[in-house]
Structure 1
């Protein structure tokens, strides 16, 4: 199995918490959160966009009192064969009926014209719905079929992620509540549903980072998932504050008295040739290691740290160490290289996206605020001509 269930690392999530949300991270855990995968069967009516000709023909029957293929073809200046094929299709999906050579709309057809949606009724429709493992609250459509979200079976154990089980069972009332919810389409259930019944329910697991931060207990935790590199507000709401999840982070925090496994941290630094430097506890209780410029610029591994770690975090288990360097020239160089890497990885990016990242990185690296034209000048002076050329598109 791929070692990285979430395409970005924990440090990226921590940077977002600290420098986009403005909160202070104290701990991070890699969790597999329980999700109920529920297979259901129902009679559903789904609304899809009309094909242009189909819309004209149904409006012609409903409002223009056009009652035959010939009348429709004449009125809309269309080929009769094309109209005939379209009418056959609309008849097949239950929108049009023919009696004595006369065309009329069914109730479903009239509803479609009224709502400007091509409703299709499917009996014995089977589909999968996802519900949170604590409280059986539904997950929204963005967790379905995106190609980004991986829901693992209990057998798909992953060494770096801790599996969180829900020892209860799925609450069938959640299905009834969802069927009555006027916003059910948001949760992958069509706007019209009848005779909804559950066929099967099983537990699967969603990979997530849960970050503990300083602050009031009720909003102390923030979730990051495969959905994107920003915090996942939906999963935060469904899981992050539950006793089952919060207790895991609090146990880790209390076990170290809110501290750090210093022995392990020292060994980690020594292995990279940085054994002379000691992590120090800051006034807010978090940990930081201050390193000189010469400790950076290498690829990492056995010798030193990547320069990209300046202003970011070392993650050791669930422990965090903020990495700092007082050398402003190095931090400026890191800013340019990170902006260069960001733009090189994206074929399409907007000026607001670039400005948002630039603002975040200047805060993260404690540099004075700069604008895009200034950044372009800095890139040109540093011989980062590709970055300068890309930035010229935004100024």
Structure 2
């Protein structure tokens, strides 16, 4: 768990710096309160019309023929066959269930207009998630086969050194589900158009593990970038805006911010433990910290891994960017990162160009692409990496 947490946290920090272009000053592992709403609804499904059903409905809609005998006579069909078809249309909600006169329902008229036979299934139960502060719906990225949400007892086990809990005493807004049902972008929040008339059954409080990366943007304003623990590489724009603009969250996190002198002491103590003597560190005007290490700090006998270059170390109360001016060290770090990304390139080839660009920006090899990566690997004598890239490209071509 701790190892997975460290990886997700690092991804969040790197994403903030090298994709969003803002350097982090702090990262807060928090348990974000969420309203879990179980809803009961009807669902609409569509299929091709059976030929006789379509002609029956068109005859009623366009010809004004509203009895079984007249329909049988008009369409020259056996009355028994027409009666059987009418029973089916009533059962799927296309005909008014009462009276001898055949009246099309709104569902039938919509079906005729769309040339699709819609049916209503009466029972659908699903869980919809809303944030615990404003009752805005959560993005569908959180609706995976493995839910990222934690029950209160599960969240309690993470409190303490790993996560702190954000508190909200705001109840679920009763009109939030209705507003979502009317939202034209509702599928973005995991409520498909086919689900109709959702009704709240039971609200529960759950928690979402988040990494809130604090940055300082233009004008000295603080901004919080929200990353889920299960997907530290994808920014949640909606939650980021909420956490930045909601005073409740800002006040809670500000209370955990130590003075600059204490931050400096933390960085100095970390350098004394994990780097050789004489290394420099400084604070940028935006409040972020950087430690400049030397090539010998990344030799095999030391405690720093080469992939730490360009990345971040979380000291709990402050974040430090690890840097080295040496070109050779940064090239080694870049090639090590490229090796670690080979699996991602294989299964998500569409992300390859963006990930290479981000890795290049991280280590000051701007506009990095496949050609430049191969040139750097050749320059470093990394023939194994070149072979792996060739094999990967060959596999991808065969798969297309």
Please, what TM-score do these two structures have when normalized by structure 1?
0.77
Which of these residues, 208, 211, 229, is aligned with residue 209 of structure 1?
Answer: 211
Contact 1:8–1:229 (8 Å) recurs in 2: no
Residue by residue over 1:189-244, the C-alpha shift from the partner in whole angstroms, topping out at 9 and shown as x without a partner, is 454644x5433222111111111111157671111113561211122133343122
Q: How does 1:315-354 map to 2 (within 5 A)?
A: 315-350=314-349, 353-354=351-352
Count, aligned residues: 371
Could you say if the C-alpha distance between residues 142 and 304 of structure 1 is closer, same or farther in structure 2, counting changes exceeding 3 Å?
closer
Cα distance between partner residues in 1 of 2:12 and 2:169: 29
1:360 deviation in Å? 1.8
Equivalent residues of 2:216, 2:287 under 8 A apart: no
Matching of residues 28-43 of structure 1 within 5 Å = 28-42=27-41
1:311 counterpart SS class? coil
Match of 2:131 in 1: 132
Cα offset, 1:115, TM superposition:
3.3
Residues 147-296 of structure 1 correspond to what in structure 2 (within 5 A)?
147-156=145-154, 157=156, 158-159=158-159, 160-189=162-191, 191=193, 193-194=196-197, 197-215=199-217, 216=219, 220-225=223-228, 226-227=230-231, 229-253=233-257, 255-257=258-260, 260=263, 262=265, 264-272=266-274, 274=276, 277-296=279-298
CA-atom RMSD in angstroms? 4.2
Which structure 2 residues correspond to residues 3-14 of structure 1 after superposition, within 5 A?
A: 3=2, 8-14=7-13
Any idea what SS the aligned residue of 2:233 has? coil
How many angstroms apart in 1 are the aligned matches of 2:261 and 2:14?
20
Match of 1:22 in 2: 21
Deviation at 1:364, TM superposition (A): 1.5
Provide closer, same or farther for how the CA distance between residues 331 and 186 of structure 1 changes in structure 2, counting only shifts above 3 A: closer
Contact 1:27 1:212 survives alignment (8 Å): yes
Q: How far apart are the structure 1 equivalents of 2:89 and 2:237? A: 42
Which of the two has greater helix per residue? 2
Structure 1: how far apart are the matches of 2:374 and 2:52?
Answer: 56
Which residue number corresponds to residue 75 of structure 1? none
Secondary structure class of the residue paired with 1:139 = coil
When residues 5 and 307 of structure 1 are mapped into structure 2, their CA distance, relative to the original with a 3 A threshold, is closer
How far residue 98 of structure 1 moved from its aligned partner, in angstroms, is 11
TM-score by length of 2: 0.76
**Correspondent of 2:369 among 362, 371, 387:** 371
Structure 2 residues without counterparts, runs of 5 or longer: 61-70, 76-84
Rounded Cα–Cα distance in structure 2 between residues aligned with 1:88 and 1:5: 58
| Alignment correspondent of 1:111 | 110
Aligned partners of 2:214 and 2:223 also within 8 Å:
yes
For residues 57 and 316 of structure 1, do their structure 2 counterparts lie closer, same or farther at Cα, with a shift above 3 Å needed?
farther
Distance 2:227 2:50 in 1: 43
**Correspondence for 1:386 among 369, 385, 388:** 388
Change (3 A) 1:187 1:316: same
Runs (5+) with no aligned partner, structure 1? 72-85
Inter-CA distance 55–151: structure 2 relative to 1 (3 Å threshold): farther
The CA distance in 2 between the partners of 1:370 and 1:376, in whole Å, is 10
> How far off its partner does 1:343 sit?
1.8
- Confirm whether residue 361 of structure 1 aligns to residue 359 of structure 2: yes
Q: CA deviation at 1:60?
A: 5.9
Q: Against the structure 1 CA distance between its residues 22 and 207, is the aligned structure 2 distance closer, same or farther, given a 3 Å change threshold?
A: same
